[in-house]
Amino acid sequence: MTQLKLPSKNGGTYDYRAGKTGALTIPEGNFKSRIAFSAAHVVADPLANSDPLLHPKIDWEDTLAYRRHLWSLGLSVAEAMDTAQRGMGLNWEMAKELIRRSATEANAVGGKIACGAGTDQLLPGPSVTLADVQSAYEEQCEFVEKNGSQIILMASRALADCAQGPEDYERIYANILQQVSKPVILHWLGDMFDPSLQGYWGYKNLDDAMEVCLNVIWDNREKVDGIKISLLDASREIEMRRLLPPEVKMYTGDDFNYPELIKGDQKGYSHALLGIFDAIAPAAAAALHAIDDGDYDRFDSLLEKTVPLSRHIFQAPTYSYKTGIVFMAYLNGHQSHFRMIGGAESARSILHLSELFVLADQAGLLLDPELASERMKLVLNVSGIRQEALYSGKF
């Protein structure tokens, strides 16, 4: 195995050899006990002749190929969400093309897809009204349904900015939910993922905010398939899960505590709609099949060792987690480059990426450790950490 010189926290370097194989045998077929969505990432076109900040271009070949990879493992795809840099480099016009292409791919391979609908076509500012927010939601919901996808009704920065209180949230959500043709998945995204969403549902206090959210769900439960909450608080999710209408699902968005939440307890469990499943897809798929077989020990052994990696990828500032997700796909050969929309590959330090590499290896998530090591060498060299001569084979 290739030896690497990695940076240490004290400013020095140390030698490391990756060696744990990530090969897993994954049964074919759909999961029976849990519904599992992986929010999917996008990558930028490295050869595009355009400004990467103002006019980024998507690498469609690698972006869509990764979705086919997720479907091949039995996972469903949550499209055009924050993992795809929605609202953080990916604007509504780009999102429309992503939704259209991904829905076509899903139909071709028989994969399940749900797509984010929000209000990000609105320019921020004091002139935005509640009527504007409703109109924007309506436009996006119509587009998602027209392309044959389930809706994930995303939290709205514009609504958070112009709502005067919880009544405005209740009214806007009720108006939108009564217009959709099929039940949607609501998404409560915490401000650790997007600081602009602080005080969502009209309150900064989470107890009060949860009450408003539950009122929306109970009042419109025939139009709500489930809710994904991304608050990184397992006890809060369990509390809310037990207060939902019986027919409404909880989809965990907790990238810190997902094994225990998916496994569940005597009173219930959460389904999954997770960004980390993009990075740990083979282990996630194998673990979900283990639950189907009633093998909870195997479920635990597969997912527990991925948690240190996930907590590292999602460390503060949490909204920079997309960099680690894309880096994992690069290390594992799912794309030929490490270029992101808006130059977000620079959002994490070389120390962070090096530790990610080690944690991925320790979790057995580097599918080809030699390839991953050679790609890690390239990134280290660019960062000024000189390595031995680069391998001349596959990378």
State the pLDDT at residue 2.
78
To the question of pTM greater than 0.75 for the whole model, the response is yes
Residue 258 belongs to a domain: yes
Tokens at residue 360, please? 């991925």
Average pLDDT over residues 293-315: 97
- Does pLDDT of 295 surpass 80? yes
Tens digit of pLDDT for each residue in 65-110? 999 999 999 999 999 999 999 999 999 999 999 999 999 999 999 9
Residue 106 belongs to a domain: yes
Return the percentage of the chain with pLDDT > 90, whole number. 91
Q: What is the DSSP string of 270-333?
A: -EEEESHHHHSHHHHHHHHHHHHTT-HHHHHHHHHTTHHHHHHHTPSSGGGHHHHHHHHHHHTT
- Run of H or E residues at 64: helix 60-72
Tens digit of pLDDT for each residue in 108-127? 999 999 999 999 999 878 89
Residue 324 belongs to a domain: no
Q: Which domain holds residue 65?
A: 32-307
Residue 272 belongs to a domain: yes
Tens digit of pLDDT for each residue in 333-359? 999 999 999 999 999 999 999 999 999
Q: What whole-number distance in Å separates Cα of residue 191 and Cα of residue 98?
A: 25
Q: What is the mean pLDDT of the chain?
A: 95
Residue 6, C-beta contacts closer than 8 angstroms, at least 6 positions apart: 13, 14, 15, 16, 354, 357, 358, 380, 385
Residue 347 belongs to a domain: no
State the pLDDT at residue 1.
63
Average pLDDT over residues 256-275: 97
| Residue 136's CATH number | 3.20.20.70
Strand-pair partners of 150: 114
Residue 355 belongs to a domain: no
State the pLDDT at residue 53.
86
Question: In whole angstroms, how large is the CA radius of gyration of the chain?
Answer: 21
Return the percentage of the chain with pLDDT > 70, whole number. 97
* Neighbour count for residue 369 (Cβ, 10 Å): 21
Q: How many domains does the chain have?
A: 1
Residue 144 belongs to a domain: yes
- Run of H or E residues at 192: none
Residue 1 belongs to a domain: no
Instruction: Tell me how far the alpha carbon of residue 278 is from its chain's centroid.
Output: 7
Residue 18: closest CA among 303, 332, 361, 253: 361
